[in-house]
Amino acid sequence: MADKVLVTGGAGYIGSHACKALAAAGYIPVTFDNLCTGWREAVKFGPFEQGDLMDRARLDEVFAAHKPIAVMHFAALSQVGEAMREPGKYWRGNVCASLNLIEAAVDAGCLDFVFSSTCATYGDHDGVVLDETTPQAPLNSYGASKRAIENMLKDFGAAHGLRSVIFRYFNVAGADPDAQVGEFHQPETHLIPVILEAIDGKRPALTINGTDYDTRDGTCVRDYVHVMDLVDAHVLGLKWLRDGRGRPADTQGEGGAEVFCLGTGSGFSVREVIDQARLATNHAVPMTEGPRREGDAVSLVSGSARAGEVLGWRADRSTLPQMIGDAWRWHQTGGYGK
């Protein structure tokens, strides 16, 4: 019987792609999701357990039933604007829920943990390629809550032997090239799918939030990683944890936690993404200009040298033409809930 991995948020965008990658690698992904933003139709590669991370009894039940060898934790609230308006929601929904999960995992003896963090923990470091040593200074409760979870993992590593891999990354884009799963939010807030919605008339226009930033064309710059590259890193991180269970503590990072940044080392402005979408789809992009969005950093670009050296990870699919092309192919299926 193949080993099981508990995937929180496995019915969501990144989680569903991780489940496909885990299944391809020989694991059985067990999706744990409350379907608040995820889709039941996205669970295609292993068992589904509906539940909320705030429900400790339900978590204990799922750990007992499936006996996973590891946790892959994607479930989170992640909207910058909302995080600025409702910080309490993010401290409860991200930090308290993750504490429940971590304690349940430790109590069940499931001591390998892969955490989907964010480079938003760094805040705004203009003109700097971020790496694992860059000081963390989050600008909002989303980044701050993720940083708090990272610290929890380190504390539980020191106290209980929990081993964790923490991935920090920025914008995830693209979709499964087979179009079995993809990005589908309601409402949609991520740049590339919003552009595609504007192209096919599902929204009147794309609004560019801020055109007066100190960048090459006045719009924000972000690093984009193909979702399939990203989930490959998570599977590599899991294998690294499993292979290194006897690794001496002083080679496992602080509190048994290893941090890896995932990026391409270069970023694209909003206008550059729009231009590439026009070329990839052969359609004009209706757009308007609006004010800056509160909490947005000017330029966020991440390197991945350490992930390459330690895990052997490469972001081979993370080009704008491929990310937009795969996203467009998925978008044309109509998504979930049809």
Quick one: pLDDT at residue 253? 61
User: In this structure, which amino acid lies at residue 43?
Assistant: V
Average pLDDT over residues 322-327: 96
Distances (CA, A) of 229 to 96, 172, 309: 29, 9, 16
Return the half-sphere exposure (C-beta side, CA atoms, 13 A cut-off) of residue 7.
35
pLDDT of residue 304: 93
Kindly report, residue by residue over 78-130, the tens digit of the pLDDT.
877 788 899 899 999 999 999 999 999 999 999 999 999 998 898 877 668 88
pLDDT in tens, 20-76: 999 999 999 999 999 999 999 999 999 999 999 999 999 999 999 999 999 999 999
Residue 17 to residue 169: CA distance in whole angstroms: 16
What digits encode the pLDDT tens for the residues 146-200?
A: 999 999 999 999 999 999 999 999 899 999 999 999 999 888 888 999 999 999 9
280 phi/psi in degrees, rounded to 5: -70, -35
User: What single string gives the DSSP state of each residue in 9-61?
Assistant: TTTSHHHHHHHHHHHHTT-EEEEEE--SS--GGG--SS-EEE--TT-HHHHHH
pLDDT for 82 equals 85
pLDDT at 287 over 80: yes
Q: Give the pLDDT confidence of 254-266 residue by residue, as tens digits.
A: 668 999 999 999 8
First to last CA, the chain: 35
| pLDDT value for 79 | 78
User: Model pTM?
Assistant: 0.93
Q: Helices marked H in 206-319 — which ranges?
A: 227-243, 270-281, 305-311
**Amino acid at site 316:** D
CB 237 within 8 A of CB 313: no
Confidence (pLDDT) at 338: 60
Burial (0-12, 13-18, 19+ Cβ within 10 Å), 56 = middle
When the pLDDT of each residue in the chain is averaged and rounded to a whole number, the result is 92
pLDDT at position 252 over 60: no
Give strand ranges (E) for 80-213.
112-116, 129-130, 163-169, 171-173, 206-209
Task: Note the pLDDT of residue 185.
Answer: 86
State the CB neighbour count (10 A cutoff) for residue 319: 15
Enumerate residues 6+ apart whose C-beta is below 8 A from 225: 169, 170, 171, 172, 173, 262, 263, 264, 315, 318
pLDDT-derived band at 227, boundaries 50, 70, 90: very high
Identify the band that residue 251 occupies on the pLDDT scale cut at 50, 70 and 90. very low
**Domains of the chain with CATH codes:** 4-173+223-262 (3.40.50.720)
C-beta separation of 257 from 154 below 8 A = yes
pLDDT computed for residue 246 by the predictor = 45
Q: How far apart are CA 219 and CA 300, in angstroms?
A: 12
Integer Cα distance of 25 and 27 in angstroms = 6
| Choice between 294 and 85, residue whose per-residue pLDDT is larger | 85
Instruction: Specify the pLDDT at position 120.
Output: 87
For residue 294, pLDDT over 80 is answered with no
Q: Which two tokens stand for residue 187?
A: 């409402």
pLDDT of residue 337: 74
Q: Is the pLDDT of residue 15 over 50?
A: yes
Catalytic residue numbers, as ranges: 142
How much is the pLDDT for 245?
59
